[in-house]
Amino acid sequence: MKRIIQTALLAVCLVAVGWGAYQAALPPAPSLSRYVPPGALLYLQAKDFSSLLSDWDKSSEKASWVKSKNYGVFSQSRLLLRLQEAGEQFSKAAGLPADDLILHQVAGKQSALALYDIGKLEFLYVTRISSASAAQSPLWQSRSQFETRTAAGVNFFYRADAESGREVAFAQTGDYLLLATRQDLMAGALQLIANNGSGHSIEEEAWWQRPVAASGVPGDLRMILNLEKIVPTPYFRSYWIQRNVTDMKQYSSAISDLTRSGSEYREERLLFKKTAASQDASANQDSAAVADLLRFVPQNTGVYEAKANPAPKDSLNLLTVKILAPHLGPAGVQKLAPQVSLGSGETGSISDLETRIEEAPSQNPASSENQKGLETILSQHKVLAQLQFQETQRDSAGVFVRIHSVIAFSSEANWNEQEVRAALSDFVRPGLTSGELGVSWKSASGYGVLDGLWSLAVAVRGKYLIISDDPALLSAILANLNQKQSASSAAYAAGFSHQSERENFASLAKFLSVGAQSYGSPDFFSENVASLSFALENVASQKILVRDAADRQTQTVTYEWAR
């Protein structure tokens, strides 16, 4: 008996090894893009769409988000209402609801979605799913209510709604389930599948070929965009949240791969320029300077941003808005109509008679004359890179939240500390004193600090100039001067410690929104954004590195999860 068991176990092992070798020898499944007709604006593919959908449904983030103020605002947004209207039209055309149930039943393993028209939501969806699973879906079981048509010897099922003009077509061939909103897209896809990918597909188009050739192995999710066609559309201008349409016009196509790995999600983006820009050796020097400044950033800093080759005007504006005169700067764009108080009809008051109309209005404390010294210094030094970082701190009573900032500059030549101190004193004097009280400098632990109530601090270390409104933060920077450079060269880098800043942000936003009119909607920062922040409380931090080349821009975005 013992020998029989040993023989059986050996046979099982041999079968397992043989099956494993057979599986390894099988060629990888062809990309679904070879079955997608040309003309798409966007192509999205997933390695395992069913698993991604399942993970999202089981996540605590989804459970928290659907109960949040942010979701409540989103559910009333024009974008979602438009999508819901389109969904109702598709449901009417298909004869069954286009809801989450249908989505789960047509979610296979490898899946692809190609979008052909943003406004009309014309798309083709292809997924690998067993014919037995597809046959269980309500969509397949309702095929008798559809017209039967044929393409490449395969039947597909088609319906149209005369009122909305929406079309719905679906088909099952082999282990492929196809869903389309135009019958020509369905026919084209079936023809490509029948010819094993031979024929005209998006793989022949330049906007698709260039990104795919330059990228590596696809991530769990891959998105490829035809920016030459997407950017000019009115929908892009209306709904693109970054509002940087002018910047996006320089790119012809882009690709983004999202890879999930343990507690890290990493997104690799490539944006390809329409025209290659000339780059000299100084661009590499500036990018290296950004990486050099990043070693100064203390661990768990709230927010930091570093950029290469800033203009002197931009550097001065950064210093002004973040540290020297934060109350100055452009007013925010108002998107609501002004509120008019009608009162009892008065158009003025007695005190208005004391207003002299022949005199120019008073100037800001930081006038152009007071800025001249600092502006001259920044113009004379070739600033290779600048770094800013901020963090919030509670006061000793735990009531108020204060924001402190540090700005560091790296230049080609060494800075003159005495000149910098004098220029800073000239800049801040009008807003602090009518004389010299509080604008003289005293030395403290290797840096200079104003001797008044405001502890503005400055330090010069050769080519590095560091300015802060908090001496403790400046000391933390100086402590990192001997740290080794860990980041690679980049034109831009930024990071956000969501875990350390989430509570303080919500507290500060709530305090600032007291007495503000919400016009019936949740307060934007203290309720809307704060609720999204708490729904994503497991996201510990986010970092981005941007590298520029002559013909492309590379962006690496990393999300760290606390769990």
Q: What is the per-residue DSSP string for 367-425?
A: -HHHHHHHHHHHHHS-EEEEEEEEEEEE-TTS--EEEEEEEEEEESS---HHHHHHHHH
> Same structural domain for residues 229 and 170?
no
The answer to whether residue 7 sits within a structural domain is: no
Number of domains in the chain: 3
Mean pLDDT of 248-277: 95
Round to the nearest angstrom and report the end-to-end CA distance of the chain.
50
Question: Quick one: pLDDT band at residue 353, thresholds 50, 70, 90?
Answer: low
Q: Please check the confidence at residue 349 and state whether its pLDDT lies above 80.
A: no
> Same structural domain for residues 124 and 223?
no
Strand-pair partners of 258: 221, 267
> Same structural domain for residues 191 and 216?
no
Least confident stretch, 110-114, 269-273, 291-295: 291-295
> Same structural domain for residues 151 and 252?
no
Mean pLDDT of 273-287: 79
> Same structural domain for residues 409 and 437?
yes
Residues with Cβ within 8 Å of residue 348, at least 6 apart in sequence: none
Per-residue model confidence (pLDDT) at position 12 = 35
Q: Please check the confidence at residue 71 and state whether its pLDDT lies above 60.
A: yes
User: Within 10 A of 165 (CB to CB), how many other CB atoms are there?
Assistant: 10
The DSSP-derived string for 208-219 is: HHHHHHHS-S--
Compute the distance between CA of residue 355 and CA of residue 331 in angstroms, rounded to an integer. 25
Range of the domain at 241: 206-275
Compute the distance between CA of residue 499 and CA of residue 561 in angstroms, rounded to an integer. 9
> Same structural domain for residues 483 and 519?
yes
Look up the pTM and report it.
0.85
The answer to whether residue 182 sits within a structural domain is: yes
> Same structural domain for residues 510 and 407?
yes
> Same structural domain for residues 495 and 530?
yes
Q: Please check the confidence at residue 333 and state whether its pLDDT lies above 70.
A: no
The answer to whether residue 546 sits within a structural domain is: yes
The answer to whether residue 5 sits within a structural domain is: no
> Same structural domain for residues 379 and 527?
yes
The answer to whether residue 262 sits within a structural domain is: yes
pLDDT tens figures, 11-33: 333 333 343 433 344 445 789 99
Last residue of a domain, one of 233, 250, 275: 275
pLDDT tens figures, 411-434: 999 999 999 999 999 999 888 887
Last residue of a domain, one of 236, 253, 275: 275
pLDDT tens figures, 501-513: 999 999 999 888 8
> Same structural domain for residues 106 and 215?
no
Per-residue model confidence (pLDDT) at position 161 = 92
Least confident stretch, 2-11, 95-104, 374-383, 494-503: 2-11
Compute the distance between CA of residue 288 and CA of residue 294 in angstroms, rounded to an integer. 10
pLDDT tens figures, 200-227: 999 999 999 999 999 999 999 999 999 9
Indicate the average pLDDT of the chain: 87
Question: Quick one: pLDDT band at residue 339, thresholds 50, 70, 90?
Answer: low
Share of the chain above pLDDT 90, in %: 65
Per-residue model confidence (pLDDT) at position 371 = 87
The answer to whether residue 148 sits within a structural domain is: yes
> Same structural domain for residues 240 and 251?
yes
CB 169 within 8 A of CB 156: yes
> Same structural domain for residues 321 and 225?
no
